[in-house]
Structure 1
Amino acid sequence: MSLLQSKIAVVTGASSGLGRAIAIRYAAEGACVVLADIRDAPVEGGATTLELIEATGATALQVATDIADWNSVDAMVSATVERFGRLDIIVNNAAIYTSTNLLQTSIEQWDRVIAVNLTGFFYCSKRAVMQMVGQEPVNEVRGRIINISSQHGMVASPGDFPYGVSKGGIVQMTRQIAVDHAEDGIVCNAIAPGKIITGKPGVANDPKALDYSRSRTPWPRLGTPDDVAGAALYLASDMASFVTGVNLMVDGGWMAG
């Protein structure tokens, strides 16, 4: 049997990058996947995540969602439950960055990054738990929250002050939810990717930045979205029921060096 057979999963930021890979992996493992994003066209180009999943015969639902807007998040979870009857898994993945240090960061940039990367995760987690606590548990678990943090929630994010601060907040948010809602049957973990090669434009794929990342990563290659999707599959499955409150590093050994 597939690891997520008949599970209902929401993935935010599912149109591109890590969210896209996670949604596709979940669908391949039997989940019905809700693609929550403000856009549907992938930054990598090509077919949409919805098209790729439906082409395999799996089930997906695209719901336009701005995670920085409570009403949008509320409507997305309501649409999920109306269509599928429950919510088993939510992956909080959608995030933005500015590539600015403290002095370079405008108030507007700070507010926007925190609104998406931290408040958005709060909104999605809160609305998910509101649904999950009223559900019947399956193998002791009523629901699972998986937060995509970053190695830059553990160490500084050079030259990107609001991003690093927001990711550090996500790590603590994960611990809080895991402890506060364990008795409710809610499992909450985070995944902290290291350097993952995606189609994301900008400084992330600058050749000098890539060379630096290669020099810091003990494993002889940089990461791919599928590496993160594998970790997200594990944490979403029944294999990880006694694993809660952790920030799982998926970084090729960067943080161990």
Structure 2
Amino acid sequence: MRLAGKTAIVTGASSGIGRAISLLFAQEGAIVIAADVTTDVVEGGTPVIDELNKVSDKAIFVKADIAKAAEVQALFDDVAKRYGRIDILVNNAVVRGGSSLVDTDEAEWDRVTDVNLKGAYLCLRAAVRQMLTQKIVDEARGRIVNITSQHGMIAAPGDFAYGVSKAGMVYMTKQVASDYGHESIICNAVAPGKILTGKGGRAVDPEMLDYSRSRTPLPRLGKPIDVARAVLFLASAEATYVTGHNLMVDGGWMAR
């Protein structure tokens, strides 16, 4: 119960990594606010709130488009009013592009960066504004974990807008940690490697899987729970002197 009584907003909570984080947080005692633009589960299955209710009677689902400032602010204002504070934000919501630079039209650029970059910024801003008003508990006014990617540090083959957006999240992690560390606001990131979420499409094309396996020293590709466990550590009081860090959960991808 490492998060007992903590309020935690998880964006992109309906599917994949966000779903795994939400469920693990609930198992560890957190009051989970699962936020997503849809209740549909990309990999199939029951809505995340149904699974959360099997673990906790305190979890709630909030439908919100994090690319819209008004919806983000309404989400954070409601959680702060309802629970008195926001202990944890997990900035996980993401969309992929799938085009190289010359094939990335303006619509794709806007669609990807509106969620991955602008949405992350809006959530960070709302979270920090609230956390600045809170008392210090367990050495922190609040803790933030951004979900980045190894492709925020090296090229994302054929996925220009996505790579740029993740690089921006890596930078924002360091900036927030630097600017607000003296206020006891902790900001870190987790950078997944290739994670098999159950999603179809380009992510599981044989060519892409072969590429990912060739880059990963460990004998398997990742699972959402691998990422969730790392996020749990950074969101908990166990990470007592860690901020501004981008933790690789990549099976050794970046070591090769």
TM-score range for the pair, normalised by the shorter chain length: over 0.9
What are the Cα deviations for residues 100-138 of structure 1, in whole angstroms up to 9, with x where unaligned?
Answer: 011100012112211111111000000001110101110
The answer for unaligned runs of 5 or more in structure 1 is none
Aligned twin of 1:91: 90
Measure the CA separation in 2 of the matches of 1:127 and 1:201.
33
Deviation at 1:199, TM superposition (A): 1.8
Once the two structures are superposed, the pairs formed by residues 108-119 of structure 1 within 5 Å of their partners are: 108-119=107-118
Structure 2 unmatched runs, 5+: none
Is 1:241 aligned to 2:243, yes or no? no
Q: In the alignment, which residue of structure 1 is the partner of 2:197?
A: 198
Q: Aligned AA for 2:149? A: S
**Counterpart secondary structure, 2:4:** coil
Asked if the contact 1:148/1:190 (under 8 Å) is kept, the reply is yes
Partner residue, 2:231: 232
Q: TM-score, normalised by structure 1?
A: 0.98
In structure 1, the partner of 2:56 is 57
Give aligned-pair identity as a percent.
54
171-180 or 113-122: bigger deviation: 113-122
Cα RMSD for the two superposed structures: 0.9
CA contact under 8 A between 1:149 and 1:193: conserved in structure 2?
yes
Amino acid in the other structure paired with 1:14: A
Structure 1 residue matching 2:102: 3-state secondary structure: coil
Q: CA deviation at 1:239?
A: 0.9
Matched residue, 1:9 = 8
Instruction: Check conservation: 1:27, 1:53, Cα contact below 8 A.
Output: yes
TM-score by length of 2: 0.98
**Equivalent position of 2:252 in the other structure:** 253
Q: Distance in 2 between matches of 1:79 and 1:62?
A: 12
Residue 84 of structure 1: how far off its partner (Å): 1.6
Tell me the matched-pair count.
256
Shift of 1:58: 4.1
Q: Is the contact between residue 26 and residue 56 of structure 2 (CA under 8 Å) also seen in structure 1?
A: no
Structure 2: distance between partners of 1:33 and 1:232: 14
